Each structure stands twice: as structure tokens, then as C-alpha cells.
Chain A
Amino acid sequence: MSPRVAGAVALRVLTQLRRDPRTVGLLIGVPSLLIVLLHELFSGREQVFQHVGGPLLGLFPFVSMFVVTSVTMLRERTTGTLERLMTLPLAKLDLLCGYALAFAALAAVQASVVSTIAFALLGLHAAGPVAVVVLLAIGNAVLGMALGLFASAFASTEFQAVQFMPAIVLPQMLLCGLFVARSEMADWLRVVSALLPLTYAYDALARAIADEFDGRFAVDVCVVLGATLLALVLGALTLRRRTD
């Protein structure tokens, strides 16, 4: 493990993103537009926007980074650059950390812009500190990145990689408690939702916004961190030096 190599990877991924301003524009513009849309949609029912808006802006980076990472990593596999990296003095952990650093930085920008729009312009209210919401959003981005990295191993084309988004991300979004409170779900759905990491990411966000930094918040954060680590380990297992 070498910080120099991880830094080189992070810098390279950020340079690739800089060469693709449209993607960066979409990554920041689309969630901004969606939060405005949500605000307008519930213009007569301010409470709904207050309930959904806050957690949602912390979940956007999860979705974006999942897609961006799975496509970037798939490209790395199909163009042969991954094979080249595997012949170089680079630990798999360096590669994963490099990716995590780059996408966390991007998520920080994304979450800051969307939070500024929501809290300053759209009148979203948070009882808790906004900085914690942004930090949680960055953590969710790293979770999305780790899952995307793992998912990319099972895709052989970019079409497949993109389809993993609705397959892996959407069910978690539906079941995390954002749309229907978990207490109102059928028993078996509640059990399923308890197994999905996004449920804990959502709960942490909801508690941070409500300024409820209790034991449950700590559990949520630990589960999200644990799930991120697990996904990174699984992702590392899919990076093989020797292939057929």
C-alpha cells in the first residue's frame, strides 16, 4: 500500500473526469434539477418536501458514483489498462483507495452544490448541522463507488453495467424508508430492508437532519462503514492479477 500510487490513481481519475466536462455537468446538474423539481412538485405540501428533500440529497451521490464507477472500472477492464496496472508495482488497495479518493472528492462537490441549493434557495430546513449531511453524503458516495466496483466485475459491456443501477440501486431506494416508513411495510419487506445498506444510510441522514445523534445514529454509521468495507473487499477479490 502506497499513498503515492493511490494519489496517482486519484489524480488520473479526476483528470479523466476533467476531460469529460459534460459528465461532470450532469453529475452536478441533474441532482440539482431534481431537487428543484421535487420542491415544485410539493409546493403546496411543504412538509413532504421537508421530509423527503433532506435525505434525498444525501442519497444522490450514492446513485451517481455507483454508475460512474462501474462504467469507469469496466472500461479499465476492457481496454487492457487494468491488465497493465496488474503488471506494475501497484497494490489492489492502492487502486481502490485511488478510486475512493477521486469519487469522494467529486461527491463532496456534488453534495455541497445540491445542499446549497436545497438549504439556501429552496428553504429546506435541517435541525442538525448541514456539514454532517454533506459528510454522510460523501460516505454514501464511497459506498456507491464500492458497490459499483464490485458490480462491474459481472458486466461485460457498458449496457450491462448501466443496467445494474436499476437492479441494485432502485430496490434499495424503494425499501430504505424514504417513500414508505419501514414501520408501515409488510413484515417480509421490513426484513429485506434491514439487510440493505441504503436503509442505514437513509436512517443516518434522517437522524442527522432531525438533530438526533443517538445510539441508533451511531449504529447506522457503523453499518454503512461496514458495508462499504465489505463491498471494497469483494471488489478487491474481483481484481485478479492472473486471468484466463
Chain B
Amino acid sequence: MEGRAGIVVDRLHVVRGDADVLRELSLSVERGLVTGLLGPNGSGKSTLMRAIVGVQRVRGGAITVLGLPAGSPALRRRVAYVTQAPSVYGDLTIGENLRFFARVLGVPAGRIPDVLETVELAELVDRVVNRLSGGQRARVSLASALLADPELLVLDEPTVGLDPLLRRELWSTFHALAEEGRTVLVSSHVMDEAERCDRLLLLRGGRLLAAAGPDELLRSTGAPDLDAAFLRLIEEERR
């Protein structure tokens, strides 16, 4: 399993304030697939993602990412992380933001037009980020993450507030990246995005409810759609 697994989380325990956000959480994410991390707000999705990229203080357990402990300096070039709130410089233009991140990553500036093409922002390259819509800002943040051609992409709700057409295109981008052998972990609280994933991790209250492919999940719960399947899993857990 170690060889195939992009991420292995073993009995992860995270405390924020006085509350256990993640408790004895164990799961794995396969390489070369688009894995959806689903769950309601507050289920611990963002905390898990932060722990995977090595910026979350953890109380216990271990995370192995691409065969190395999470947060290893060697992973900083191989793993890209996009936060929920677009973390780019609002007072700079799209091009200035990308040139900065490209320099930090040591990536040639020639990559910039490619990633802008992917997120469909090429014609806005000289626009100051603060003057963009929320969805456009999220795409600048995503474009910055694509610069280094990462092996693992950790994307925290990257499609929130985007129009349906662009959402569909971004999802096909995620699949194209996965087909090249990259690992893509995408979080969402919208169930209709679940069916676009190869595999799902359902998180609730800091615990893993289920880990399966969408079809498998429908079969095992006998539910008509993924929304209903999630609901049945919650009810089962309560009993």
C-alpha cells in the first residue's frame, strides 16, 4: 500500500482550542486519482488538509505524503496547496502574483501563460487582483499552485462560487492532472461534486464516515444519490 498511496494518515489527532477537531483519523489517498474530501462545514476538512501540507500543529499520529513525513522540506516543491480563501496579493496584478510565486519556486516565467490558460485568466493578466471577482481570485490562487507542476495537489474548496461551465472545466483539468499520475485531493461541501471524484472520503465531526468510490457508495447504502447515501451513513452511525 505504501508504494501506491499518495497520502497515508495514521491515527491523526488534532486539537484546536479545547476541541478535538480530528480524532484518531486514519485514511489513505491513492496516487493518480481525484479524491474528494467531503463533509459539512466544521467536519475537519480544512484542518486535515492543513495537516497534510504541514502547516497544522498536530497532537498525535503520523502523516506520510509521497513517502515522506508531512511537512518535510523536500515536499515543498512536490506538493501544492490552495487555501479556501484565495491567498494571493490583492494589491498586485495577476501577472505580478504569478511571477513572484514562479521566482520563489524557481520555475521559468514561461510556465505562467500555461497555467493562466488552464484557469482561463490569460486575458486578465494585467488586472489587479483586488478588482477581480471572488471566483477569479480563487482561480489566480489555483494558477499559482499549478506553477511548479506538483505531484500532489491539495485544493480546499477550489470551485466555490464559480460558474457551472468553468467548474466543469476545472474538474476535467483535475482529472487530466490525475491521468498524468498526479494525486489530487479536493475538498467540497457540495454533494453534486462528489460524483465527479474517483474516490470519496466522507468526513463528519472529525471522523471518517466512509471511504469508497461513488458507485460503490451508492451500492452499499442502496441510496438513489450521493446526498441520500451520506445521510444514510450519518443515520447508521447514530444508531
Asked if B96 lies at the interface with its beta carbon under 8 angstroms from chain A, I say yes
A7 B103 Cβ-Cβ under 8 A: yes
Residues of chain B contacted by A15 (CB below 8 angstroms): 92, 96, 100
Interface string of B50-62 (1 = CB under 8 A from A): 0001111110000
Interface string of A77-109 (1 = CB under 8 A from B): 001110111111110000000000000000000
Asked if A242 lies at the interface with its beta carbon under 8 angstroms from chain B, I say yes
From residue B194, how far is it (CB to closest CB) to chain A in Å? Answer: 26
Asked if A225 lies at the interface with its beta carbon under 8 angstroms from chain B, I say no
B87 A12 Cβ-Cβ under 8 A: no
A87 B91 Cβ-Cβ under 8 A: no
Q: Which of B171-195 contact A (CB under 8 A)?
A: none
- Nearest A residue to B93 by beta-carbon distance? A19
From residue A20, how far is it (CB to closest CB) to chain B in Å? Answer: 7
Residues of chain A contacted by B101 (CB below 8 angstroms): 88
Asked if B76 lies at the interface with its beta carbon under 8 angstroms from chain A, I say yes
- Nearest B residue to A20 by beta-carbon distance? B91
Residues of chain B contacted by A242 (CB below 8 angstroms): 54-58, 71
Residues of chain A contacted by B105 (CB below 8 angstroms): 88-89
Contact A241/B54 with A20-B91, A79-B87, A81-B87 known, Cβ cut-off 8 Å: yes
Asked if B232 lies at the interface with its beta carbon under 8 angstroms from chain A, I say no
Contact A244/B54 with A81-B88, A88-B101, A89-B77 known, Cβ cut-off 8 Å: no
Contact A87/B81 with A241-B54, A242-B57 known, Cβ cut-off 8 Å: yes
Could you tell me the distance between the alpha carbons of A214 and B97 in the complex, rounded to whole angstroms? 48
Contact of A87 among B17, B79, B100, B103 (CB under 8 A): B79
Could you tell me the distance between the alpha carbons of A90 and B91 in the complex, rounded to whole angstroms? 21
Could you tell me the distance between the alpha carbons of A71 and B107 in the complex, rounded to whole angstroms? 29
Q: Beyond the given A8-B100, A242-B56, A243-B55, could you list 20 further A-B residue pairs with CB under 8 A, ordered by the A residue number?
A: A4-B103, A5-B103, A7-B103, A16-B92, A19-B91, A19-B128, A20-B91, A79-B89, A83-B87, A84-B81, A84-B144, A87-B81, A88-B76, A89-B76, A89-B77, A89-B104, A90-B104, A241-B54, A243-B57, A244-B56
25 A-B pairs in the complex with CB atoms less than 8 angstroms apart: A4-B106, A15-B96, A15-B100, A19-B91, A79-B85, A79-B87, A80-B87, A81-B87, A81-B89, A83-B55, A83-B87, A84-B83, A84-B144, A87-B53, A87-B79, A88-B105, A89-B76, A89-B77, A90-B76, A241-B71, A242-B54, A242-B55, A242-B57, A243-B55, A244-B16
The 8 closest A-B pairs by CB, nearest first: A8-B103, A80-B87, A84-B87, A89-B76, A12-B100, A242-B57, A87-B81, A81-B87
